[in-house]
Amino acid sequence: MEALQASSLRASPLKPLQKPKLNIHFPNASRLVPRPTKKFSSITASSPTVSAPKREKDPKKRVVITGMGLVSVFGNDVDAYYDKLLAGESGIGLIDRFDASKFPTRFAGQIRGFSSQGYIDGKNDRRLDDCLRYCIVAGKKALEDADLGGDKLSKIDKERAGVLVGTGMGGLTVFSDGVQNLIEKGYRKITPFFIPYAITNMSSALLAIDLGLMGPNYSISTACATSNYCFYAAANHIRRGEAEMMIAGGTEAAIIPIGLGGFVACRALSQRNDDPQTASRPWDKDRDGFVMGEGAGVLVMESLEHAMKRGAPIIAEYLGGAVNCDAYHMTDPRSDGLGVSSCIERSLEDAGVSPEEVNYINAHATSTLAGDLAEINAIKKVFKNTSGIKINATKSMIGHCLGAAGGLEAIATVKAITTGWLHPSINQFNPEPSVEFDTVANKKQQHEVNVGKTLYPFLGSTPSLSIYLHFDGYGSSRTCVFCNSNRLVLVDSAISNSFGFGGHNSVVAFSAFKP
């Protein structure tokens, strides 16, 4: 208990298809993305110097993204979700799901008007915890996006298709109700669904049971790093030949009294009750804690061979990843940033990406006093040129969705690559001077990079990459290019860094697909 009352936990304890097409063609386009060969060193003398390897070429081991599905405070449609983000809308408001008037924090990114019609039958819909409902709907919508909805799923080998959707908190409503019934009415009033719906593996299990998918199936629970751990593990199942397709991501539904009360007890949450929509303000000097959110974010991941064989709509490619542990503190990040920085470097190595190629970061940025700057400091250890990188914060609009955050933010990152627009970080009123990055403050931007002096395709400078940091393109006809007044830069990759309570760090790298 003493650890939870440390000064680091006051106010902010968490220190730590049809898709729009952009058809721009260049002659000899295959030459525009040289494989990284530049050597780079890790951040401590004890770590070895490593070289970025060539990217995977074996179609059985290349992993592509063919579908995306979500449940969010902005609805259940991926395009509508990203449109809201681009508009800079806040999904934060006063809680009306229960009486929160006695809590010091009375607002969250609460989902309203959620419907599972067409995805879950009425009887099960009434029984299921929202954590499970969000997972099933997001998973099935991702399959629809991958052109595997309904009877089309029967065309694949279901013994080689699996599900890996994790959650940080599990079926918290079912658990809370069961405890209350035990105390007030005795054990005979506990529902027989109490244990099955509360345990964290049931989201993946129920989705697989519903769809008949018999491949690898389990969940991972690494707090706010959960979704990225699931992407990493799912891709490795495909690379090892254990599956041809995986549904992976995260789901969370913790905006209930015990969930809110628990984070209040940790002194983790903002208390800006008079103006909830401005409460989540990453990197702002007046930030006072994070804002709870909820939902689910899911990707369909396939081997390139499998996707090409069935003519799948390929959105992006998974390049590689890494996981590690701070081994430092239950809630605080390492002050030297070693865990996060080394995890980023190892992910870049696995993906075949060098730090010099990165020009965009979708950050974890939870709006905590210490965590926001700890993230920035870790980034600076790997990426020395802050002037060439833009950084934005999805949580400024949807709140911190815990185990689902990585899934929802990965989708936002892929949409940034495929549309050429970065959503804003809203509520940037009084920015911290030490951030030193363009935070895409308050207004969306086209991806204006600062790495080449003139047009890249005609001058041989290296293409820039996108990076998606979350602390805790399309088919071959599409080339994604972002420009400003004097340069065009090909955006090739996006890196997602995620960590959570317990010191869990994970980094996964995505790229526009190239045959």
pLDDT tens per residue, range 132-185: 999 999 999 999 999 999 999 999 999 999 999 999 999 999 999 999 999 999
Mean pLDDT of 453-481: 35
pLDDT tier, 490 (very low <50, low <70, confident <90, very high otherwise): very low
Mean pLDDT of 199-218: 98
- pLDDT tens-digit series, residues 269-291: 999 999 999 999 999 999 999 99
Q: What does DSSP assign to residue 34?
A: P
Mean pLDDT of 448-460: 29
The yes-or-no verdict on residue 28 having pLDDT over 60 is no
pLDDT top residue among 470 and 181 = 181
Query: Given the DSSP bridges, would you call strands 161-166 and 245-252 parallel, antiparallel or unpaired?
Result: parallel
Mean pLDDT of 447-466: 35
The yes-or-no verdict on residue 24 having pLDDT over 70 is no
Q: How far apart are CA 377 and CA 221, in angstroms?
A: 26
Which three-class secondary structure state does DSSP give residue 417?
helix
Catalytic member of 230, 237, 343, 400: 400
Q: What are phi and psi of 103, to 5 degrees?
A: -90, 145
pLDDT at 492: 57
pLDDT top residue among 25 and 496 = 496
Q: How far apart are CA 369 and CA 246, in angstroms?
A: 37
Residues paired with residue 482 on neighbouring β-strands, in sequence order: 489
- pLDDT tens-digit series, residues 287-303: 999 999 999 999 999 99
Write out the DSSP string of 195-227.
HHHHSTTHHHHHHHHHHT--S-B-----GGGHH
Q: Could you tell me if 273 and 107 are in contact, meaning their C-beta atoms sit under 8 angstroms apart? A: yes
Q: What are phi and psi of 489, to 5 degrees?
A: -135, 130
- pLDDT tens-digit series, residues 318-352: 988 899 999 999 988 887 788 889 988 888 888 88
Q: Could you tell me if 94 and 112 are in contact, meaning their C-beta atoms sit under 8 angstroms apart? A: no
CATH superfamily of domain region 29-53+63-511: Thiolase/Chalcone synthase (3.40.47.10)
| 180, burial (CB in 10 Å: exposed 0-12, middle 13-18, buried 19+) | middle
- pLDDT tens-digit series, residues 227-269: 999 999 999 999 999 999 999 999 999 999 999 999 999 999 9
pLDDT at 352: 84
pLDDT at 21: 40
pLDDT at 301: 98
400 is catalytic: yes
329 is catalytic: no
pLDDT tier, 34 (very low <50, low <70, confident <90, very high otherwise): very low
Structure tokens, 82 = 């990203």
Catalytic member of 306, 364, 447, 504: 364
Mean pLDDT of 107-128: 95
The yes-or-no verdict on residue 31 having pLDDT over 60 is no
pLDDT top residue among 455 and 370 = 370
pLDDT top residue among 303 and 416 = 303
Mean pLDDT of 77-106: 98
135 is catalytic: no
pLDDT at 473: 31
Map out the domains of the chain as residue ranges: 29-53+63-511
Going from the C-alpha of 151 to that of each of 211, 301, 436, the distances in angstroms are 10, 19, 51
pTM: 0.84
Mean pLDDT of 420-445: 94
Q: How many helices (H) and strands (E) in the chain?
A: 14, 18
pLDDT averaged over every residue in the chain: 83
